[in-house]
Amino acid sequence: MRHIVLTLFLALLLQSPGLAQPQPVDLWGGLKAGMTKREVKAVRKRSKVYLTDNCRVRMKTVFDGGRLFAVRLTSYWTLRYNACGTQVYQALERKYGRPISSQSREKISLYGLNTVREFHWRDGDRSINLRLFDTGRLAELSYSLAVGGGLNDL
């Protein structure tokens, strides 16, 4: 009898909300942290995405241990399709508030010395990072599982 009571107690304890499995973290565009490559392909069939009419990006997925960890949106280098850095920054600021950190650094590229500005937001267990060139052009926007958050098995 004592064994049955203990087993029932443990079963109820494991079903309590505090010990429930963590919910998958929404990264971007229907992609959730922890998805397999097959699941990602079923959700996102194309790697070329328009954020706005003048902002075309390539979507790259980053896996760790066979599970989705981050989504990176990198700009095309043609001026026609990446003149949207300011718009993207403003949209992120409207949605998540002011960045929790930002920094600027110099970067040498084919076009000479550029200043790259980096901004970081946190939304629950999701980390959002934006890199812009000093010209306002988009370099990269990434969504990833925040360190210390979300799925513990990644």
Burial 37-74 (b: 16+ CB within 10 A, else e): eeebeeebeeeeeebeeebbbebebeeeeebbbbbbbb
pTM of the model: 0.75
Query: What confidence tier does 107 reach under pLDDT thresholds 50, 70, 90?
Result: confident
The amino acid that residue 49 corresponds to is V
- In degrees rounded to 5, what are phi and psi of residue 92? -65, -40
- Per-residue pLDDT averaged across 97-121, rounded? 85
Contacts of 119 (CB under 8 A, 6+ apart): 89, 92, 99, 101, 102, 129, 130, 131, 132
What integer pLDDT is reported at residue 1 of this predicted model?
Answer: 57
Query: What confidence tier does 24 reach under pLDDT thresholds 50, 70, 90?
Result: confident
Which residue has better confidence, 124 or 84?
A: 124
Query: What confidence tier does 50 reach under pLDDT thresholds 50, 70, 90?
Result: confident
Contacts of 24 (CB under 8 A, 6+ apart): 32, 33, 34, 35, 150, 151
Which residue has better confidence, 103 or 79?
A: 103
What integer pLDDT is reported at residue 54 of this predicted model?
Answer: 74
Query: What confidence tier does 100 reach under pLDDT thresholds 50, 70, 90?
Result: very high
What integer pLDDT is reported at residue 81 of this predicted model?
Answer: 55
